[in-house]
Structure formats: C-alpha cells, structure tokens
Structure 1
Amino acid sequence: MVQEYSGWFLAWLALQSTGVIYGDIGTSPLYVYSSTFSSNPSYDDLVGALSIIIWTLTLIVTVKYVCIVLRADDDGEGGTFAVYSLLSRYARIGGQDPNTARAIKLERYLSTDMKPTNKGVRNFLEGSRASKAILKIVGVVGVALIMADGVLTPAQSVLGSIQGLKVVAPNISTGTIIGVTCAILILLFLIQPFGTSKLGTTYAPVVIIWLMFNLCFGIYNLVKFDHTVLKAFSPYFAGYYFVRNGTDGWRSLGGILLAFTGVEALFADLGAFSRRAIQLSWICFAYPCLLFAYIGQAAYISKDVTQTAYSNPFFNTVPPGMLYPSLVIAILATVVASQAMITSSFQLLSQVMRLSYFPHIKMIHTSKYFHGQIYIPMANWLLMIGTVIVTAVYNNTTSLGNAYGVCVVMVTFITTCMISLVALIIWRLHFTIVLAFFIVFGTLDGLYLSSVLTKVPQGAWFTLLLAFILSTIFILWRYGKEQQWKAENTDRFQPGQLMKKNENGQFRLTDAFGGAIVTNISGIGIFFDKAGDLVPLVYANFVRKFEASPAVSIFFHMRHLPTPSIPEAQRYIISRTSIPSCYRVIVRSGYMDDIITADLARMLVDQITLYITSNQGRVSLANPVNIENSAPDPDMDARIGAELLALQNAQSQQTVYIVGKEQMRIAPGTNIVRKILLGVFLWIRENARSKIVGLNIPMEQLVEVGFVKEI
C-alpha cells in the first residue's frame, strides 16, 4: 500500500530522509580526491576527475536513481528484490506462497495491450526456466550485496571519522582508535530500537549542517581560488581524462566511485520514506551541496602551493578558523552515515521474509504515521557483531577501502538490468528508448564495475564472500519452502471433501479419509489457519487422528495489512462452513492492532454472535443468495436461537487453542544433492522462531497437534 504525503508531512519525511539516506553519500567529500590520486594531480587531471564526479552524480544518482529507478517501487518498497517482486506481478516468473497468493494483486497486461517486442520479452521470460532462475538469483544477490555492504559501511565511516582525530592528535594509538570506533558502533546499534522516524529526525540537523558546511566552503573556495574549474561541467573534460591517462584513468574510477557510494541505499530505503520525499531532499538540497563541495575542493587544490591538499581534501580546504567546528561536525556526520545502510538492511530483510526467502523473525513497526519504517532486532545485533569484527580485523580505512565499493557498483548494474525489464514489461516503453537507457547507464556501470573488480584480491573478496553466503541462504530457504508447499498441497481441500453427513444424520469422514464417524468434543476449538481458505491443515489432522471435532470449531486466520490499524467495522470477515457448528473468521489487522490476546476467544465468540444475528448470517443460514426474494422461513428464529445456544454452551464448557506442529522429513529415494539441500533447509526450519512464541494467550489452553509431511 503506497503512502502519499503532502504539506508538512512531506517536509517532515524529507527531513528524515536527509538524516538517514545522505549520511553515506554526503560524507564522500572527505576522501574522494585522496582515494583517486596518489600524488598531487595536474590541473587537467583535476578538472577531468571533477567532470567525471559531476556527471556521475548527475547521471547515475539524479537521472537514473532519483528520476527513474524510484518509480519502480513495489507498493512503496524499493531495492532490487522489490523490483523482482514487481516484475513477478506483471509476468509469470516466480512461484507464489499458496497461503498468501490470493492477497497478492496480479496486474498482467493483455497481449493486445503490449507492443510486439515488449510482449516477446515477457513471453521469453515466462517460457524460459533459465531466465526465471537467473532473475530470481539476480534479485536475491542484489539484496545480499547491499546487506554485505551494510556490515562494511558502518565500520568504514565511523573508523574514518575517528582516524580524523589524528589531525589534532597525531600521537593517538591505533588501539585507541579501534576501541573508540567499536564503542561508537555498539552505541549506534543500541539506539536502533528508537526507530527510523526518531533517528532520522535527530540525525537530520547533523547531516544538514554538514552539507551546508560543504556548500559554503565550496562557494568560498570557488570564489577565492579558481573559478575556471567550472568548465568541468563540460563532459569533454571527462572524456579527455580517459584519453590522456588511459589505463591509469580507468583504474582511478575505483576512487571516484566513492562519490556515489550510498546511492543503493537511496533506493533500498524507499519503503521507509517515499519517492517524493527523497526526490525533494536530493534535488533541492543534497545534490547542489555535494556539487559545490567537489567543485570548491578542486578550486583549492588547483592553486595549492604545498601540493598536499588532495591528500585530505576536506580538512585542508576549510576556510581559516573553521577547522575545529568542521572536525566536530565531520565526526558526527560520519557516525550517522551508517544509518542509511542499517535502515536499508531492515527494509530489504522484511521484503525477503515477506516473499518466503528467509525465515520469519521478529519485526517491529516503529511509526504509526509512516508504515514502512521498521526495526528487526536479530538483524540489528548480527550487523553490530559483524561491523565490530570487521573493524577489529581490518583496523584501518585503507584496507577497508579495498573492500568498499564493489557491492555498490554491482548493485547499480543489477538495478540497470532489472529496470530495463520493468520499462519493457510494466511501463511498456518503446524498445529503442529502453535500449538507449541500457546502453548509457550500462556503460557507466560497466566502466566502474570493471575498475573496482581489480580490488577483489586486495579485500573486496570479503564482501563478495559474505554476499554469496547470504544469497545461498536466501535461495536455499526459498527452495525448501517451494518443496514444502508442494507437499502441503496434497492436504488442501474443501470441507465437503473431509466429512459428510450419512443417512442417520451423523457426520463421518469421507471414504478417502477412512469413513469413521466423527464424534463431538465439548467446548470450543480455535484452529489457527495460515491460509484463510479451504480446510486448515491442523484441523484436518486433528479430525483424522482423533475422529472427533469440537462442539464449535473456529478456523482463525490473521491477515496482516501494512497499515497501523483497521477500523472495527472492517476488521472481521466471518462465514459458515459445510462442517456443522464450524465458522471461518478472518481478522484483518494493522501492525498497531493487538489481536492475539488472552481475550481472543471471547472476542471471536462475540463477533460470531453478531454474525449469526445479522442479515448476513441469516442469508448464510437460509442458503439462498438473496433472502428478501426467498420464501419466508418461520423456523429461522428458532434455528438462530439453537445456534446461539450451542455457541454459549460450548463457551461455558471449555476453550482450546489448537496450532499445528508440522514436522517434515525427506522422502526416501531422494538423490544426494537434493537431500543435502533439504537437510540444511530443515535444520534452519527447526531452529527458527517457533510460531507459539508470539502468541499472547493462556498456555494452559494451548494444544499443539503434530503431523509429518514428506518432501
């Protein structure tokens, strides 16, 4: 559900996005020139590098991401996996969880509404198993790369800021720097439970002041030292840089790309903010501030008589008297720079959980105003441990820098490929327009990617290895879930296929399930149903095992919606089933609604009572579609009275909550590769969070019914 904001809410959200998203990309002026040049650059090289920076920020960040990529959201969510999810709603490229398939809105276009080339691309994707697998893997790898970068970015940014203390304290030891960095990192992760909204609002003044410093310093240096660097706005100087430097110029792209590290978080964090908020904050504020920062630094370096300004481009170019204020705000800005990747990790993990690529772990919505802002405790602590370990092992920004940037460029290239498919299949743009987009941005991404891959032996292998491990876990879990769905599908049937009434008026199991008479157990049985239609697996196994059914059975299903709360009048969907005294209750809930409480049984009975006595309940009891046009039923009140009495009697006897405990085992005869894959999946599944952990109901009334399925 996409949220739209305007007025003060939009301004507030834009403020938050500034505090969260631009801490990473906004602190790049600290080290871009020093990472690009190993010695004082000539004027031509300086202008050439500046031209590349200007056009990279303009084309990759502003045009590609802010103006184009942000429009490829999946119900307000961003990131490569959101793009894959969006594609799967317009083309049959991925299987769906049968428990949630009916809640997903499919929007496939008719063939007659598509151009032949666009339709051909869609048909190829749908007809090729290899293309489906590649798309799935690419989407997952994009998520894994960003999350791997999420481990590295906090370490890089905070360690870089603390190392900056050597400017005023040259004798500070490496051990002290590492210790202070780890302490700050731990504090950074400890405050994550406050939520994106509070953190973004708190961090925003720091980032705003930092960017304003860069803007003002840039203008000052431009006016005072060398305004001729403004000719870098001509792309000619970017091209001439490569002509003049050849291979060395290409290799230097590994440093220049640091100017846009964090752009992948800009898209991944879309769910926490909104497209308009991000566009507003970037185009109106962050973009011009960064342009002037790099232009001003170049103006100073071009006239620097010491020929050392490039080695510490920000602090060496600050105006007189501003060193210490700049140092303080720089440290604060780099500390909060980590928030972009931390928030994006939460957003992306929620997406892979929703689409069954990862076990469901606890997720907390942190704002009742902005629906996409979440906090995931387990992910937070794992990220904290990872960043502290990385900081201690790498212990300096130079070695970390070798591992930095590879993930960013790989994600931007993956995004270019997937957005091209979105443009063809969903936006239905002409093939030539899409081809032009792919050539321009694919070439830019390819240049940076080929350059940065030379860093793999020097440290980038770490992030690639971490991304590979995460991708393997995601794909393995999805594979196991698909096998589980196939196994469960054999037990998915209508109530009439489970039991029927015999000639004596008794209900018995159908012949397919043994044909035994089903006896009544006193009380109410509330069966938790994860699908919301057909017969719950737990009820089918309960009846088959015990050949009995509660006097009143309730199939209870929670349908979570991405909104804070659902009004009481719209919350409940109740219906009768063909099983006697059996009701299906679907509860539509928002993330702020507290539904599963100790009063759950009373609430369900109250709602069923209202349903029985309502016109809707009368229609269901009378069978005809329109009770007003059917013959009067003089026994209707008596039948309703009997039904209410049976419900009250059952409630007065006992209430039992019944959940399924599904055990899975590998079917005999499974080949060794499949057996290993499924074995790992089952191990993860057995050690994942139990479903009863989050149930706030009386434990003495809870019963688990175990059953075994072969996969």
Structure 2
Amino acid sequence: MSTSTGDKPPEDTTSNGGGVFSSRVSQRKASVQGNKATTAKIMDIELASNSDEPEVDERDFHSKQVFKGWTLALLAYQSLGVIYGDIGTSPLYVYSSTFTSEPSHEDILGAVSFVIWALTIMVTIKYVGIVLCADDEGEGGTFALYSLLSRYAKLVRHDPQHNGVLTPAQSILGAIQGITVVNPNISSSTVVGVSCAILVVVFLIQPFGTSKIANSFAPIVIIWMIFNLVFGIYNLVMYDSSILKAFSPYFAGSFLMRNGKDGWLQLGGILLAFTGVETLFADLGAFSQRAIQMSWLFFVYPCLLLSYIGQGAYISRIPSAYANPFYLTVPPGMLYPSLVIAILACIVASQAVITGSFQLLSQVMKLSYFPQVKVYHTSKTVHGQVYIPLANWLMMIGSTTSLGEAYGACVILVSFLTTCMVTVVALIVWRLPIYLVLPVFLVFALWDGMFLSAALSKVPHGAWFTLMLAVILTCMFMLWRYGKEEQWTAEESDCMPLSQTTALRDNKLVLQKGSTTSPITPISGLGIFFDKSGSSASTPTVFLHFVQKFSASPEVSVFLHLRPLSVPTVPPHERYSITRCSTYGEGPGKRAIPNCYRLIVRHGYTDEIITPDLGVLVLDLIRGFLETHGTSKVPDSDTEELDALHRAWRSQVIYIVGKEQLKIAAKTNIVRQLFLWVFLWMRDSSRTKIQHLNVETDRVVEVGFVKEI
C-alpha cells in the first residue's frame, strides 16, 4: 500500500467553510456552484425514511433519439454513404451468381420476378416496414432484439451493476472484376491483389468516424444509384420492355415449377440481391429509423428495381451478358465511368458491415457477453455512432481471408433468426394478438426458409467457414457470460448495506460482524473510495475490505461512483448526486455517519471526470453540499463537518481503488475449471490497469481481495 502527503489545501479557510480557494478551485466552483442547483440536484435523504432498497433514478435512463427537419435529412443523406453500399452493389453479380449458362427468356423473366419480390418482401415490407420498429431504445440488430426480449421476458440475469465478415471482400472483388471487361488479359491474381489492397485502406480510415466517412461516401453512392437507375431505364427502353411482366409473382412461381431442383438451387444466387439488408437494422442506432426508411423508399429501392429490370431486359435479348450483368449492359461510352464509380461504390459496400459490426459488438458488451474493450464515440449528435479499434483490425484480417460462398448462407440465416425474434417481440413487447402475428410470421418464415434451404447447399463449398466462425464466436460469448454470472454470484457475499457492516458507538464508527464489533481508527486525510456498484443498498466493497484489513478509515470518506450514460454529456445540474451515508447507532432509527458521503457522478462519453483535479472537484462538491444542505436541527454540526473536511484536505487526499482477484474453488470439476480458467484469462487480459487511472499515482491506494468462483 502506498500513500502520500496528498493535495495541498486551499490557501486558507475559515472555520465556517469560507475562505479563498486556489485558482483551480475557483474554476471548479464556477461550474459547480455558479448555481446552487448545479451542485447536482444534490439529494440529502431524510435519515428517518432512508432505506436499504436500491434507488431508481430516472436520470440513469435514456430514451431513444428522435430527429426532425434538417437533422433527419442529413442522417438520411449520411445513411446512403454507409448502409447501402452492400445491397446497392449487388447488381454487379446477382445474375452471374444465379445462372451457370445462358438463360432462356422464361428463366430470365422468372429471375427478375424473384429479384423484384425479394426486394419488396424481404427489404421493404419486412425490414423497413416491420423490423426497424423493433428497436431497443433506438438501437438495432440481433443483440438489440435479444436485449429487448430479455428485459421484457426476464430471460437472463442482468449485471447488477457476427454479421458477415465476408461482405467487403465479395463486393470489392465483384467491382474490380470489371477491369477484365476492359482488358481480358489481366490475371485473376491481380484482381484479387487490388481488391485486398483497397479493402485494407477501407479499414485504415475507420478511426475518422461514421459521420465523416458517411459524408464522404454518400455522393459516391448517390452517383452509383443514379447510374443504375439511368442504365436500367436505357436497357428497358432499348431492348425488351416486356420484361415489366416480371412484376407478376406468377413468373417467379413458374420459374421454380419449371426448373425444379435446379431452380431451387438458383435461389442461392437470387438472395444476393438483398445481401446487406441486415445492416439496415444493425446500423439503426447510427442513423435512426425514419432516416433509413426515407433513404430506402424514396431513392435506393426504385433505383435498384430499375437496375435489375434493365439488366433483365438486356439479357433477355443477349443471353451471354449474364456472365457480367452490369458492365456488359452499360450504355455505349459509359464503361470507364461505370468502372470507376463501381469500384468506389464497393469500397462503400464494406462500410455497411464494418459500421454494423461496431454497433453489434457494443451491444454484446452491454449485455455482458464480451469483455469490455475500448469504444470511441465519434459523434456528439448521434449517440450510436461508435468506433471499436479491436473489431476493426480483426475484421480486416478476416475479410482478406474469407471465402465468397459463405456470405449468402450467413445473411439468410440471420434474416430467419430476425423473423423469429421480431415475432416474439410482437407478442411480448407490442402485445399484438396471436391471430394477427401468426399469419405474418408464416409468410416471412416460408420466404426465409425457401432461400435458407438453397443457401445451405453452399455449405460444402465454403459456407462452412462462416458457420464455423459463428460457432466459435457463440462459444466465446457464452463462455464469457457464464464466467460473469459466476463472478456476480461470488460478489453477492459482499453485497450488504452499511447498516449490516458498520454501526455508531458514541458517535464513532465501528465495524460490525454479527453481534461483535471492533473499533475503526480514523486516519487523517480525505479518502475517495471508487465504488463499483453505486447503490445505497450495499457497502462499497473496497471500503469494506479497507476497514477490515486496517481497522481504520480516513477522517472524511467519499464513496465515488461513476455512472456512464449513452449521451455525449450530462448537464452540470444533473451530473452529481450527493447523499449522507447512514447506519444504525444507539437508539431506534438510522443515524448519519459523521463525515461519510456517497457521490454519484453521471457522465456522458465526452465528459472527462477522472483528472488530476478530481480531488479538488470532490472537495468543492462536498463543501457546497454542506453549505446548501446542512442539518438544520444541529447547526454546529455543519460547522464541525466543514472543519473536518478542510482539515482532511490539508492533511492528504488519497484515492482508494479495489483490485478483485477471482480464484477457482478447489472442489470445482475439471470441465468447469477449464471454462473458468479461460474466462479468467480473458478477464485479466482485458482489465483496465491502475496505471491508466488519470490521477497522481503516488496518491493511489490499491486494496486487493480474493473471491472464489
């Protein structure tokens, strides 16, 4: 244990708490006491009614953001630069992935019909119309659905305190292959090499943040979509306008009936028309529901429809064009511009999955299924825009080594799971009648199942890679969750209120264990204990172990709990909450523990709380609390507490942090030992080191304690 002489006190103070503070204190005071309410909506709970039950504060919860006007229009514009690159570049390879030989007129008509209805049913109706409404406080994706369901159905215990790695490689490779139309002598290894180089660049620019990347990429997608729209209209007019008959679902059904098993297998190529649809939902937190609905319905959807219809019109007259359906169908003189824009658009295509993966991983961490890794919030306006370095670099490695056949199976499997989960949400959360939900579920389940069965035929040809990766990630998530629940169980033994661990005897704090008590010797100084739980229903673990080990406590103790919220910043008047700590003493009822306070700091992701000035901030807050919320019944006690506070400050300020070590119990069976050992290794590797605590290190006291799991 190491201590120091601590912070030097304010230059001078009087007995009533007045005096001249240093410039640092004055600066803090301007933000903390400029308005008495700024001291935090400071709460001084009446001791007679104080309870050991956990408090619920509405300030700890946030509602989803609702955007309107120009902000909504900007988000709709930005969404074009992130979430539609993938589904928007599918015209490069859908028909070539569907057919292996020149199709007949009836077959291309049936394929176009399938594409039209896939975009309509899977994307427009299912995702844009229904799934986007199943958000968890504005967050989307599979894990947001799981969080929503687990909260309403109480599926899992909460902390008391893979979506398509292959997309970038697949899309960019499809765009670069257009070079072979210009120069057939270019080797496939050159195409793959250029694709990988572009892919690496995409991952390298991620630290710039979603907004900047989206603003830069959106014009590319807009131009690309306009190209698809114009080319589609051109081909429709110039070659075969009768292809518009494909809007009738009869031709899709006829396609399957006529081709039998081969037609069923060809659905594996058709489903590539809506790859990337899950990113519309996964990126919901980065853009908002209305922004995504606007950009899809009024721009992307009609552009893609006409693109596929136009390609179908061209192929119906020149069947050999199926092999490279985009570049061989461009109007005369537009090949080179199309090639450039296609490559740029496919760079954007990778952005959809990358951004969506950041969203999903941040949700997984909130649900305690993954270790806490560094997350950077990249926007003060849209709270869901994040960047996760670890995920970025791992995806870069994974994307450059992935297999193309895997992607379709991954997409449709996630889509099927989403259908099932949204159905449960409709019943449990939205409380819709089952007779209304069941028919809708059957329609989408049959549609998903049809494509899923076709996609599973790809498993021996590469889709096994994604399925294997999904199994590995799932096992890791479950292992971490299992370890966390064991940790929570072990920590419950320390989860006791102050009234059960301490008592007052002759107005002095004593340690209480059952019917026996032991004295606690006060030591000079202001002690700031970092409280993990922040609940008034429990004694801070670090404080309990400190007094148990040393039978002593600082003259003034502050239990500091940092409560992060998913907002950029918390206004000063809502940021701090202070209460007196209380325990039982002689006589009935609870009594305040002298010079012991609980300080809760609510902060956003741009608020910097742990700074070298932390001790000054705590001093100023407690001083303001005593001046504003003193005990009116005994005025002299307020003066005594202020005197004690300043005296402790002059002596030293120490920061006491807990270091919990988990140990596997001796009688644990071998399989459980292995699981827990892996969990502990992951936990130790991802823990924040004490050196990263941004306070003077010579004022830090680390209290270690061991828990068996």
Normalising by structure 1, we get a TM-score of 0.88
Give the alignment of 1:626-705 within 5 angstroms: 633=633, 635-636=634-635, 638-692=636-690, 694-705=692-703
Give the alignment of 1:46-61 within 5 angstroms: 46-61=108-123
Q: C-alpha separation between the residues in 2 aligned to 1:379 and 1:693? A: 24
Q: Report the equivalent of 1:111.
A: none
Q: C-alpha separation between the residues in 2 aligned to 1:649 and 1:419? A: 60
Q: C-alpha separation between the residues in 2 aligned to 1:368 and 1:433? A: 40
CA drift at 1:686: 1.2
CA drift at 1:569: 1.0
Q: C-alpha separation between the residues in 2 aligned to 1:562 and 1:666? A: 34
SS at match of 2:381: coil
Q: C-alpha separation between the residues in 1 aligned to 2:192 and 2:317? A: 36
Q: C-alpha separation between the residues in 2 aligned to 1:160 and 1:54? A: 21
Letter in structure 2 aligned against 1:535: T
Letter in structure 2 aligned against 1:370: V
* Higher mean C-alpha deviation, range 333-342 or range 530-539: 530-539
**Residue 210 in 1 paired to residue 228 in 2?**
no
Q: Report the equivalent of 1:547.
A: 551
Q: Report the equivalent of 1:17.
A: 79
Give the alignment of 1:430-469 within 5 angstroms: 430-469=433-472
Letter in structure 1 aligned against 2:281: F
Letter in structure 1 aligned against 2:168: P
CA distance 1:326–1:514, shift in 2 (3 Å): farther
Q: C-alpha separation between the residues in 2 aligned to 1:231 and 1:388? A: 41
1:87 alignment partner, one of 149, 168, 172: 149
CA drift at 1:498: 1.2
Contact 1:22 1:262 in 2 (8 A): yes
1:194 alignment partner, one of 172, 185, 208: 208
Contact 1:498 1:513 in 2 (8 A): no
**Residue 328 in 1 paired to residue 340 in 2?**
yes
CA drift at 1:156: 1.5
Q: Report the equivalent of 2:388.
A: 376
Q: C-alpha separation between the residues in 1 aligned to 2:507 and 2:334? A: 91
CA drift at 1:515: 2.7
Contact 2:177 2:191 in 1 (8 A): yes
CA drift at 1:702: 1.7
1:228 alignment partner, one of 242, 245, 253: 242
Contact 1:513 1:544 in 2 (8 A): no
**Residue 168 in 1 paired to residue 182 in 2?**
yes
Q: C-alpha separation between the residues in 1 aligned to 2:186 and 2:347? A: 19
SS at match of 1:586: strand
CA distance 1:558–1:513, shift in 2 (3 Å): farther
Letter in structure 2 aligned against 1:248: D
Q: Report the equivalent of 1:303.
A: 317
Contact 1:500 1:508 in 2 (8 A): yes
Q: C-alpha separation between the residues in 2 aligned to 1:693 and 1:227? A: 70
**Residue 592 in 1 paired to residue 592 in 2?**
no
CA distance 1:312–1:693, shift in 2 (3 Å): farther
* Higher mean C-alpha deviation, range 465-474 or range 153-162: 153-162
Aligned-residue Cα RMSD (Å) equals: 1.3
SS at match of 1:320: coil
SS at match of 2:178: helix
Higher helix content, 1 or 2 = 1
CA drift at 1:609: 1.0
1:490 alignment partner, one of 490, 493, 500: 493
Q: Report the equivalent of 1:608.
A: 622
* Higher mean C-alpha deviation, range 577-586 or range 213-222: 577-586
Q: Report the equivalent of 2:573.
A: 569
Letter in structure 2 aligned against 1:511: K
1:155 alignment partner, one of 169, 175, 179: 169
SS at match of 1:520: strand
Letter in structure 2 aligned against 1:483: E
Q: C-alpha separation between the residues in 2 aligned to 1:260 and 1:694? A: 45
Q: Report the equivalent of 2:46.
A: none
2:521 alignment partner, one of 513, 519, 522: 519
**Residue 72 in 1 paired to residue 134 in 2?**
yes
Q: C-alpha separation between the residues in 1 aligned to 2:433 and 2:613? A: 57
CA drift at 1:380: 1.0
Q: Report the equivalent of 1:510.
A: 512
Q: How big is each residue's C-alpha offset from its partner over 1:409-450, in whole Å with a ceiling of 9 and x where there is no partner? A: 000000000011011111111111111111100001001111
Q: Which blocks of at least 5 consecutive residues in structure 2 are unaligned?
A: 1-62, 583-592
CA distance 1:513–1:333, shift in 2 (3 Å): farther
SS at match of 1:580: strand
Normalising by structure 2, we get a TM-score of 0.88
Find runs of 4+ consecutive structure 1 residues off by over 4 angstroms: none
CA drift at 1:514: 6.3
Q: C-alpha separation between the residues in 1 aligned to 2:78 and 2:433? A: 37
CA distance 1:91–1:507, shift in 2 (3 Å): same
CA drift at 1:656: 1.1
* Higher mean C-alpha deviation, range 275-284 or range 167-176: 167-176
Q: C-alpha separation between the residues in 2 aligned to 1:156 and 1:696? A: 44
* Number of corresponding residues: 635
Contact 2:691 2:697 in 1 (8 A): no
Indicate the structure whose relative CO is greater, using CA pairs within 8 Å and at least 6 residues apart.
2
Q: Report the equivalent of 1:141.
A: none
Contact 2:92 2:175 in 1 (8 A): no
Q: C-alpha separation between the residues in 2 aligned to 1:473 and 1:232? A: 46
Q: Percent identity?
A: 61
Q: Report the equivalent of 1:421.
A: 424
CA drift at 1:179: 3.1
2:367 alignment partner, one of 355, 369, 380: 355
SS at match of 2:701: strand
Give the alignment of 1:78-157 within 5 angstroms: 78-99=140-161, 144=162, 146=163, 149=164, 151-157=165-171
SS at match of 2:577: strand
SS at match of 2:555: strand
**Residue 285 in 1 paired to residue 299 in 2?**
yes
Q: C-alpha separation between the residues in 2 aligned to 1:358 and 1:491? A: 24
Contact 1:161 1:335 in 2 (8 A): no
Q: C-alpha separation between the residues in 2 aligned to 1:177 and 1:28? A: 18
SS at match of 2:333: coil
CA drift at 1:690: 1.7
CA drift at 1:171: 2.5
Q: C-alpha separation between the residues in 2 aligned to 1:556 and 1:511? A: 24
Contact 1:13 1:277 in 2 (8 A): yes
Q: Which blocks of at least 5 consecutive residues in structure 1 are unaligned?
A: 100-143, 391-399, 623-632
